[in-house]
Structure 1
Amino acid sequence: MVLLGVCSAAVVLPLSFSAGAIATPAIGRAIGGGPVALNWITNAFMLSFGSCLMAAGALSDQFGRRRVFLAGIAAFALFSLLLTIAPDIVWIDVLRGAQGIAAAGALAGGSAALAQEFDGHAQTRAFSLLGTTFGVGLAFGPVLAGGLIEAAGWRAVFASTAVIGVIALLLAAPWMRETRNPSAGRIDWPGIVSFTAMLCLFTVAILEAPARGWSDPAIRALFVAAAFALAAFVAIERRSAHPMLDLSLFRYRRFIGVQMLPIATCYCFVVLLVLLPIRFVGIDGHTPLISGLMMLALCGPMLFVPSLAVWLTRHASPGVVSAAGLLMSAAALVWLGRLPADATPFAMLAPMAAIGIGAGLPWGLMDGLSVSVVPKERAGMATGIFSTTRVAGEGLALAMVSAALSALVSARLRAALPSLSSLPSLPGIDRDRLAAAAQQLATGDLAGAAARLPGVRAAFLREQYVDAFSLLADGLAIVTVLAALATLHYLRPDPQTATRITNAPVPEAADR
C-alpha cells in the first residue's frame, strides 16, 4: 500500500508538468495573460520544484519522511484544487509555484520513505516500479490533458491532479511508518536561501529580457544579483559543516559526467514537452486531444527504452550508450526542424519518436550512475545533487529556450519588416509592436500576433514561426552534441575499475 501510494504521487508529478504545457494555450484563450505570464505557468512549477528538492530531503531526514510526504502530497492536492477556481493568470502562476514546493516535499519524502520500507532486491524492484510510473505520467499526461480540455475545459486538468493526489494520500497515510535520520545535522538554511535566490533571479531575468530588452538596467541588475547569489552560495557551501550541496563531489571525474546527462536531456527532450504542445495547439491549430496523442510519439519510448539501455550496457559502457542516444536525438532534432510549415502531423511523428528513443537511453542509466560513480558512503548526497541538477536544470532550460525562441521569431519578423512596412495597414511599424507580436507568436498566440500586425496573413506569421523553430532545433542539436562529447570524455571507463549497471546499481569508488 505504501508503494502504491508513493507511485500514485510519482504519476501525478510529471503529469502535472506535461499536462500544464498542453493546458497553457487554453488558459491563455480563456483568461488572457501576456507571453511572460503564460510562460510562468510551467516555469513557476519547475523553478520551485527544483530549488526546494534538496531542502525537502533535509527536512524529511530531520522531521520524518512520512510527515514530509503526507504534508507535501496533501498540499499538492489542495493547490491543484485551488487552481480550478483561480480567477486570473497571476493566481495561476502563484499557485503553480506553491504546487512545485509541495511536489518537492512529496517526492523527497516519498522516495526516502520507500527506501525504508524495502530491502535488497525488493527495494530494487520498488524503485524500478517508481521510475516506470514517472514514465507513465510523462507519456500519458498530454493525452489525459487533451481529452479533459476538450470534454470539460482546462480547469479539469488541475482537478484530475487533485483527485490523484488525494488517492495517493489515502493509500499511504494508514500504512506508512515514520522514520528519521538520527544523525541528521542542522538544515543549511543560508545555502537553501542563496541557491533559491540565484535560480529565481536568473530565471526572472531570462524570461523578462525579451520583453524589456537585454540591455535594460533592471535585467542587468537581475543578472548581477544572480551572480552574487551564486558566489554567496559557493562560499557558504565550502564553509558549512553540513552543506546542502557537497561541492567536493565534483572532484570525481565521472560524477561530472553524470551531471551532463540530465542537462543534455533537458535540451533534447524536456523542453520539447512544453514547446511542441504550444506549437501544435497555438500555431498548427490542432485540438488539445490530437496534440496529446501526437506527444505519445515523443514520450512513449520512455516506457521501454530505459530498460533497453540497461541491457545495452552488457555490450558497451554506459558512457558510450548514453552518448549514442544523445547523438541520435541531436540528428532527429535537425530532422524535425527541417520539416516544412505545411508538414502533416504524421510526418512529425517519426523524428519525435527518434528523439524520444535517443533521450531514453541516458534517461534509463543516469539515476543508477549518479550513485555508482562515487564512494558508497557518499551516495545519498550524490543522489540529492543529481536530482537538483535534473529538476533545476529543466526549469532553467525552459526559461532559456523560451527566450531564445522569442528572440528568433523577433529576428525573423524584423527580416521581413521591409515587405511588412509596404502594407497600407503597417506604415512605419514600431519596434515595440513588433517585439510584442513576436512574443505572442513564440507562446503560441497566433491570433494575438496577427491582431498586433493587421493586414499580415496568419499563414505568413506561421511560416516565420516555423523558420525560427528550425533555427532553435539546430541550436538544441548543437548543445546535445556537445553534451554527448562531454559524456564520452567524463564517463570513459577507468583502467582499474569498471562501472557495471544492472537492475540494482552497484556503488563503487571512482578515480578522481
Structure 2
Amino acid sequence: MTSTISPGTTRRLAVLAAVCMAALALPLAFSGGALATPAIGRDLGGSPIAMNWITNAFMLAFGSLLMAAGTLADRFGRKRVFACGVAGFTLTSVALGFAPSIVVVDLLRAAQGVAAAAALAGGTAALAQEFDGAARTSAFSALGTTFGIGLAFGPLLAGWLIAHFSWRAIFLAGAFAGVLSLGLGVPRMHESRDPQARRFDWAGTVTFTAALASFTCGVIEAPSRGWASANVVALLAACVAFAIAFVIFETRSPRPMLDLSLFRYPRFVGVQVLPIATCYCYIVLLVVLPLRFIGMDGYDEIHAGYLMLALSAPMLFVPFVAAMLTRWMSAGVISGIGLVIAGAGLHTLGGALHAGVGPAVIGPMFVIGVGAGLPWGLMDGLSVSVVPKSRAGMATGIFGTTRVAGEGIALAIVNALLAALTQISLRAAVPHADSTDLSDAAARLSTGDLAHAATRLPDVPAATLQAAYHAAFGHLLDGLTAITLLCAFAVFAFLSRVRTQDEPVTTRTHDKRVSLDSPMVELAPRLIELTDDKR
C-alpha cells in the first residue's frame, strides 16, 4: 500500500521550510554577533560604545519594531512583508560581510534588526494562514525547535566560522540561509491579508522606538561619559518624555498598538516578570560570557563556543520537559522553581570563576540553562491564560514586545553595570590613575578588550587589569543572582496558582478555555488574532 503527498501539502511544507530557514538565521545573528565582537574589534577597532552597539543595535531595532511589523503584515500582506524582511536580512548580511568600519557594522546591524522583525512577523503570520488545527501546532513546533537549535548551536557555529574563516563568514552564512528561504518557499507562499486590519499606529511606534533608543543610548554612553554628563542626562530625560508621550497616545487611541489596560490584571503583570527574569539570568550571559572567555581568559572563538553549549543546549529539551510537568504542577510554580534553579546556578558560577575558566564552570552554566529553560517553555501560554480570551491576541503582542525589547534593555544595563563595577575595582587597585584613562580602560575591559585597556593604563600590569575585571564580573553575577531570585519571588506571589490552561481571570463560565501551552507561541505574537480573523 502506497501513500502520496498532495501538491498542496508539498507546497505548505516548502513554505514551512522557508520560514524555518529564515528563523534559523535570527538566533545566529544574535548569538553569533555577540561571539564575533572581540574579533570585529581586533579587525576594525572602535570605541567601547561602538563595540556595544554591535549587539544592541540589532536588538533595539528588532524589539521595537516587531509589533509594528505584524500590523504591516496584516494590512499589506504577510507574504510581502516576509519576503521583504528576508530579502533585507540577506542584503544586510552580505553587506556586513564586507563592512569596512565599525560604524558601518553598527548601522548595518540596526538595519538587520529591522529586517528581522519583518521576517519574523510576516513568516509566523503566513504560517498561521497556511496551516489549520493540529497541522498548525506541528508547524509552530517545528519553528520553535528551529529557534532552539539556532540558539543552542549558534555560538559553536560562529566560533567554528571565525576560527576557520573570519567573523565575516558568520554574516555570510546568515545571507546563505536567507537566499535558501527566498528561493525555496516565497514563490510557493500564498498572499493573505486581514481586511479588518488596524491602521498603522505611527504615533505609538515612533514614541515607543524613540523611548527605547534614548534609554539604550544613554546607558551605553554613561560608562565613558559619566552618568552626570549633559548628553547622558539629556538622553535619559528624552526617554522619560517619549515614554510619557507613548502612554498618552496609546490610552487615547481607539485602536492602540499596545492596549495598556491589560496591566490592570495583576497576574498579567506577573507574567511580564518572566521574560525580564530570563533576560537577566540567561540572555545577557550569551553576550557577556563569550566576551570574557575570549577577551579576558584567552580562549579562542571555537573553544568559547564549546563552553557556551553548556548554557544553551538545555533549551533544546527543557521547555518540553516543563510542558510535561504541567500535568502535576502549575505552570507558575514550575516557572518560579526554574528561576530559583537559575539563581543557584548563577551563584555557583560566580564561585567557579574565582578559580579561572575551566571544566568547573560547565556544571553551573548547565544548571543556569536548565533553570531558564523551565519558564521559557511555559511563559507564552501563561501570557494568554491570565487575560480574557478576547484579549489574547493583544496579550501575546505585549508579551512578545516585553521579551524582545527587554533583551536589548537588559544588555545595555548589564554592559553599563559591568563597566561601572570594573571602574570601581580599578580605582581601588590603581588609586592615582587619571580618571579619564581609568574610565576608558574600564569601558574597554567590559567589552573584553584587554589589549586596548592596557594602552590606556600602560604602567598597570595586565594581571592587575584582569583581576579588576574578574572582581567586577563576580559582583555582576551576584547582582544577576539577586534579580533572578527577586523575580522568582514575584512569580510565586503572582502566578503560583496559574496553569497554562486556567480560565482567564474575568471570563464567564461558559467561555472556552485558552490553551496555548506550546513554547512555540513565542514566535507568533499575533497568532491568536490571526486565528480569530480566519474564523
Instruction: Give TM-score scaled by structure 1 length.
Output: 0.95
The aligned counterpart of 2:3 is none
* Greater alpha carbon shift after TM alignment, 451-460 vs 35-44: 451-460
Q: Does 1:218 align with 2:222?
A: no
1:92 pairs, out of 87, 105, 112, with: 105
Aligned to 2:318: 305
Mark the CA change 1:321 to 1:500 in structure 2 (over 3 Å): closer, same or farther.
farther
Contact 2:380 2:518 in 1 (8 A): no
Displacement of 1:502 in angstroms is: 4.7
Equivalent residue runs for 1:113-512 within 5 Å: 113-418=126-431, 421=432, 429-493=433-497, 497=503, 502-503=517-518
2:41 corresponds to 1:28 = yes
Partner of 1:46: 59
Code of the aligned partner of 1:319: G
Deviation of 1:456 after TM superposition, in Å, equals 2.2
Alpha-carbon contact 1:341-1:462 (below 8 Å) kept: no
Between the aligned partners of 1:209 and 1:497, the Cα distance in structure 2 is: 45
Query: How many residues are matched?
Result: 498
CA distance 1:16–1:494, change in 2 (3 Å) = closer
In the alignment, is the contact (CA less than 8 A) between 2:277 and 2:484 conserved in 1? yes
Which secondary structure state, in structure 2, belongs to the residue aligned with residue 185 of structure 1? coil
Residues 47-56 or 334-343, more deviating: 334-343
Deviation at 1:125, TM superposition (A): 1.2
> Which sits farther off after the overlay, 286-295 or 331-340?
331-340
Code of the aligned partner of 2:123:
G
Q: Is the 8 A contact 2:353 2:361 kept in 1?
A: no
How far apart are residue 492 of structure 1 and its match?
3.1
What is the deviation of 1:376? Answer: 2.3
Distance 1:494 1:335, change over 3 A: closer
Deviation at residue 501 of structure 1 after TM alignment: 6.4
- Deviation, 1:344, is 4.1
Amino acid across the alignment from 2:181: A
Shift of 1:454: 1.7
Provide Cα deviations, 1:51-88, integer angstroms capped at 9, x if missing partner: 00010000001001010001001100000000011110
| Structure 2: unaligned runs, 5 residues or longer | 1-13, 505-513, 522-526, 529-535
Residue deviations 1:428-456 (CA, integer Å, cap 9, x gap): x2100111111111110111112222232
1:500 deviates by 6.6
Tell me by how many angstroms 1:338 deviates: 1.7
**Secondary structure at 1:339 match in 2:** helix
Question: Does the Cα contact within 8 Å between 1:142 and 1:292 map onto a contact in 2?
Answer: yes
Question: Aligned letter for 1:130?
Answer: L
Shift of 1:385: 0.9
- Residue from 29, 52, 55 that aligns with 2:68: 55
| One-letter amino acid matched to 2:478 | D
Deviation at 1:280, TM superposition (A): 0.5
Contact 1:32 1:89 (C-alpha < 8 Å) held by counterparts: yes
Superposed CA deviations along residues 312-367 of structure 1, whole A, max 9, x for unmatched, are 11111111000000011111111111224442421111110000000000001112
CA distance in 1, matches of 2:498, 2:448: 47
Separation (CA, whole Å) in 2 of partners of 1:190 and 1:300: 40
Measure the CA separation in 2 of the matches of 1:34 and 1:455: 21
Q: Deviations over 1:282-335 (max 9, x none)?
A: 000101000011100000000000000001111111110000000111111111
**How many angstroms does 1:375 deviate by?**
2.2
Question: What letter is aligned with 1:473?
Answer: L
Match of 2:96 in 1: 83
Q: CA deviation at 1:377?
A: 2.4
Contact 2:378 2:518 in 1 (8 A): no
Which structure 1 segments of 5+ residues have no match? 422-428, 508-512
Distance 2:140 2:218 in 1: 37
Task: Provide the rounded CA distance (Å) in 1 between the counterparts of 2:354 and 2:198.
Answer: 57
Distance in 1 between the 2:76 and 2:262 partners?
Answer: 26
User: Counterpart amino acid of 1:101?
Assistant: V
The answer to whether the 8 A contact 2:79-2:126 is kept is yes
TM, length-normalised to structure 2? 0.91
Whether the aligned pair in 2 keeps the contact of 1:310 and 1:501 (CA below 8 Å) is: no
Contact 1:191 1:233 in 2 (8 A): yes
Q: 2:511 maps to which residue?
A: none
| 1:49–1:101 Cα contact (<8 Å) kept | yes
Distance (whole Å) between structure 2 residues aligned to residue 48 and residue 381 of structure 1:
21
1:138-193 per-position Cα deviation (integer Å, ceiling 9, x unaligned):
11111111111111111111110110111111122121111111111211100000
Answer yes or no: is the 8 Å Cα contact 1:318–1:501 preserved in 2: no
* Whole-angstrom CA distance in 2 between matches of 1:100 and 1:500: 31
Deviation at 1:218, TM superposition (A): 1.6
Shift of 1:398: 0.1
Tell me which amino acid in the other structure corresponds to 2:273: M
Equivalent-residue separation in structure 1 for 2:332 and 2:517 (angstroms):
14
Query: 1: CA distance between counterparts of 2:200 and 2:406?
Result: 23
Deviates more, 1:405-414 or 1:383-392: 383-392
